[in-house]
C-alpha cells in the first residue's frame, strides 16, 4: 500500500479506527443533545428578540401562519445554538482523532482553522441576525410601501432565510479561511491548486445543498456561483503561488534538465557527528538526533512533503537506523536518501582534520554529475595534500587513518583514475 506513514505510526485495524470515531462522535452528539434541551427553555426569548430586530415595520407586521413550522424552527434554532456552544469540545475530539495522521504543520493548520471557523460561525450568526437581515428587510419593505401594499410577513420564513444566509456565509468563510491558512502554511501552490479546488469547493457545495429549501431550487445555483466566485477571488494569490521554498533550498538541474531539490539533514547525532557546509544549492535543516527521535523524523518528513524535496542527505545517521515504514514514506514522496556517515568517518581518524568530511560532501552525485564531483574532490585533495587515499563502497572495520591519509566512499572510476594521475597512492578496500 502507498500510504504515507509517520515514524510514530502504529498498525491499527479499520475497525479500531471506526470504534474510536464512533465513541468521539457519540460523545459530541450527547453534549449537543443536552445543550439543545437547555437552549430550548430560552430559545423563545431569543427568537422574539431576533424577530423584533428583523421586523421592518414600525408596528409589527410579522405573523405565524404555520404553528408546526414555527415549532420546528424553534427546535432547529435550539439545535444550532447547541452545536455552536459545543464547538470547543467538538474541536478537541476532532483534533485528537486526526492528530496521529497529521504532519506537524498540518496539525497547526488544523487547530488554527477549526478555531477560526468556530469563531467565524458565532460572529456571522450574530451579524446576519442583528445587522444584515434587518437592513435587507427594511429595504425590501420600503419597496412594498412604494407600491401601496399592506405587508404581512411570515416570521417562520424570515427565520428560515436567516438560517440559510448564515449557513452560506459560514461555508464561504470556512472555504476562504482554509485556503488562506493553507497558503500561509505553504501547503498550496500552483502545482496542487486544482487538487485543493476540487476538495474545498466540493465539500462547500455539498453542505450548501443540504441547507437550501426544496421550494427554491434556483437559489442553490445562484448561491453556489457567488460562493465559488468569492473563494476564487480570495484564493487568487494562493492558487498562483510558486512552489514553496525554505532552508536555503534551490532548484538544481541535472545533466538531462531535470529539476531537483536536495536537503541536507545536519544531525549532530547526540554530539558524535561534526558539522560541515553543504554544497551550493542544498538546503540545510539541523537536528539533534533525527535517527532516534520520532518528532524530529516527522518534522523532516513534513519539510520533504511541503517543499517537494527530491533528495535528503543525512550527515552522520546511517539509513539502516531509520524505521522501514519511515523510509517507505520518503519513497512515496519520491525522495531519495543517502548518508555521508560522518560519525563513522570521525571514528577512523587518529588526528584532527576535516578532509574526510569535506571529501564525503564533495563526492555527492545525482543530481550532480561525476565530472563536477571529481573536480570538487581534486580541489580538496590539492588543498590538504594527503599521500594515501583509501576508498571502497563501505568503511572497513578497524581502519585508522594517519595525518597523511584520507578516505573517500564509493568514488567514481573517473575520480580514481584522476587521483592516480596526480600521483596519489590509491588503496582500494573490498568488503
User: pLDDT, tens digit, for every residue of 47-71?
Assistant: 777 777 766 666 666 666 666 666 7
Closest CA relative to residue 234, chosen from 175, 171, 176: 176
Question: What is d(CA 186, CA 302) in angstroms, rounded to the nearest whole number?
Answer: 11
Residue 234: pLDDT band with limits 50, 70, 90: very high
Please, are residues 286 and 266 in contact by the beta-carbon 8 Å criterion? Answer: yes
Question: What is d(CA 343, CA 315) in angstroms, rounded to the nearest whole number?
Answer: 8
Alpha helices, DSSP H, located in 363-426: 370-384, 413-421
In the DSSP assignment, the letter for residue 153 is: E
Question: What is d(CA 359, CA 397) in angstroms, rounded to the nearest whole number?
Answer: 19
pLDDT of residue 219: 78
User: Among 65-79, 251-265, 341-355, 376-390, which is the least confidently predicted range?
Assistant: 65-79
Find cell 520520532 and name the residue. Answer: 294
User: pLDDT, tens digit, for every residue of 398-428?
Assistant: 788 888 888 898 999 999 999 988 888 888 8
Cis peptide before 367 (omega within 30 of 0): yes
Residue 287 in grid coordinates: 537536528
pLDDT of residue 1: 42
What average pLDDT does the segment 30-57 reach?
A: 81
pLDDT of residue 128: 77
Q: Domains plus CATH for the chain? A: 14-239 (no CATH), 245-341 (3.40.50), 348-431 (no CATH)
Query: Nearest-5° angle of CA 356, CA 361, CA 363?
Result: 90
pLDDT of residue 21: 84
Residue 414 in grid coordinates: 573517473
In the DSSP assignment, the letter for residue 99 is: G
What average pLDDT does the segment 170-175 reach?
A: 86
Amino acid at each position: 500500500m502507498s500510504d504515507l506513514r509517520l515514524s510514530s505510526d502504529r498498525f491499527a485495524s479499520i475497525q479500531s479506527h471506526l470504534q474510536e470515531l464512533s465513541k468521539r462522535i457519540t460523545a459530541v452528539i450527547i453534549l449537543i443533545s443536552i445543550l439543545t434541551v437547555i437552549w430550548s427553555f430560552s430559545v423563545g426569548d431569543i427568537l422574539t428578540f431576533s424577530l423584533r430586530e428583523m421586523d421592518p415595520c414600525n408596528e409589527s407586521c410579522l405573523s405565524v401562519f404555520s404553528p408546526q413550522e414555527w415549532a420546528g424552527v424553534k427546535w432547529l434554532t435550539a439545535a444550532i445554538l447547541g452545536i455552536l456552544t459545543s464547538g470547543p469540545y467538538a474541536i478537541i475530539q476532532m483534533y485528537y482523532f486526526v492528530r496521529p495522521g497529521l504532519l506537524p504543520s498540518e496539525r497547526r493548520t488544523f487547530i488554527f482553522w477549526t478555531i477560526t471557523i468556530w469563531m467565524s460561525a458565532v460572529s456571522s450568526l450574530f451579524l446576519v441576525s442583528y445587522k444584515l437581515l434587518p437592513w435587507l428587510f427594511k429595504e425590501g419593505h420600503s419597496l412594498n410601501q412604494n407600491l401601496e401594499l399592506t405587508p404581512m410577513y411570515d416570521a417562520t420564513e424570515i427565520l428560515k432565510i436567516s438560517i440559510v444566509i448564515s449557513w452560506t456565509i459560514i461555508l464561504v468563510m470556512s472555504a476562504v479561511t482554509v485556503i488562506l491558512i493553507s497558503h500561509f502554511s505553504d501547503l498550496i501552490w500552483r502545482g496542487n491548486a486544482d487538487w485543493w479546488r476540487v476538495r474545498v469547493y466540493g465539500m462547500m457545495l455539498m453542505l450548501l445543498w443540504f441547507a437550501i429549501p426544496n421550494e427554491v431550487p434556483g437559489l442553490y445555483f445562484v448561491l453556489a456561483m457567488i460562493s465559488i466566485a468569492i473563494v476564487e477571488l480570495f484564493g487568487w494569490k494562493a492558487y498562483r503561488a510558486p512552489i514553496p521554498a525554505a532552508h536555503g533550498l534551490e532548484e538544481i538541474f541535472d545533466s538531462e534538465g531535470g529539476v531537483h531539490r536536495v536537503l541536507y539533514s545536519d544531525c549532530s547525532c547526540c554530539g558524535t557527528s561534526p558539522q560541515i557546509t553543504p554544497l551550493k544549492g542544498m538546503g540545510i535543516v539541523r537536528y539533534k538526533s533525527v535517527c532516534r527521535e520520532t518528532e524530529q523524523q516527522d518534522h523532516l518528513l513534513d519539510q520533504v512533503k511541503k517543499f517537494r524535496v527530491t533528495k535528503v542527505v543525512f550527515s552522520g545517521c546511517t539509513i539502516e537506523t531509520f524505521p522501514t515504514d519511515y523510509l517507505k514514506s520518503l519513497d512515496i514522496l519520491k525522495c531519495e536518501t543517502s548518508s555521508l556517515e560522518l560519525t563513522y568517518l570521525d571514528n577512523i581518524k587518529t588526528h584532527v582534520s576535516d578532509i574526510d568530511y569535506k571529501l564525503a560532501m564533495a563526492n555527492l552525485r545525482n543530481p550532480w554529475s561525476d565530472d563536477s564531483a571529481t573536480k570538487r574532490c581534486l580541489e580538496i585533495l590539492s588543498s590538504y595534500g594527503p599521500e594515501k587515499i583509501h576508498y571502497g563502497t563501505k568503511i572497513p572495520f578497524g581502519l585508522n587513518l594517519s595525518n597523511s591519509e584520507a578516505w573517500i566512499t564509493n568514488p567514481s572510476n573517473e575520480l580514481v583514475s584522476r587521483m592516480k594521475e596526480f600521483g596519489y597512492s590509491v588503496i582500494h578496500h573490498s568488503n
